Amino acid sequence: MKTTLLALSCLLLSNLAYSATDVTDKSISQPIKSALARLGLTPTEVNPSKIAGLLEVMTERGLFYISKDGQFLVHGKMYDLKNGVENVTEQSLAKVRVIDIKKFKDSMISFPAKNEKYKVTVLTDTSCGYCRKLHSQMQQYNDLGITVQYLAFPRSGTTGPTFKELSAIWCSANPQKSLTDAKNGTRIDVTKSPQCGAPIAEQYAFGMKVGVTGTPAIIFEDGAMIPGYQDPHQLLNALSEKD
């Protein structure tokens, strides 16, 4: 049992590269705060779940389920089998994505479609092969009416070279060109790049919170997320199915 708890603690604490904010929501009980604090987690919102006696708790490291007394913690997806197989966890995360993504509307790097039919937000990393492949097909996405707007998600966290490179790109005079150059293999000289306070750490934290584990991660306007690369026509088909 001790080994299991230790492993869970290590998993939750690994790559924790940002500080959690204090919680002022009085509805979050002290037993729950204390239980999660032992794992390095801070609850930001607590709601009833579809299972009696189990609460849905949102943290900076994702969504968990916890008993009201803080004794039992569940990390995983919840499905409602009454009407098909409904991913309850994903539905909750989708709502959070829709709300939180609005905070970054002025700090995205956007590649707009001339005749926009759909808009997706892609969490990206310049060191990711499939991110480069997606970006190399940007004109095809745009021609199909898909606007792509980027948020940064440095897979190595907020202390590695990719974080510095993404910060330099977001702070450059022409972020679109800088991002394209980086994805085409051009090295960005981070020592000469301006520091504009681009919210790269905040964008990374958003990804960690809403279930991003790799790049590219594609978020639809309704908050649904597809993890991994989709070619232009695959993505168009996935988007059209929601119409």
Catalytic residues: 125, 128, 131, 155
CA–CA gap between residue 187 and residue 167 (Å, rounded): 13
DSSP β-ladder status, 118-124 and 146-152: parallel
Residue 31 CA to residue 50 CA, distance in Å, equals: 21
φ, ψ (nearest 5 deg) of residue 157: 95, -165
> CA–CA separation, 198 vs 61, rounded Å?
21
Query: Which structure tokens are listed for 78?
Result: 């919840």
In whole angstroms, give the CA distance from residue 76 to residue 90.
10
Q: Is the peptide bond before 199 cis (omega within 30 degrees of 0)?
A: no
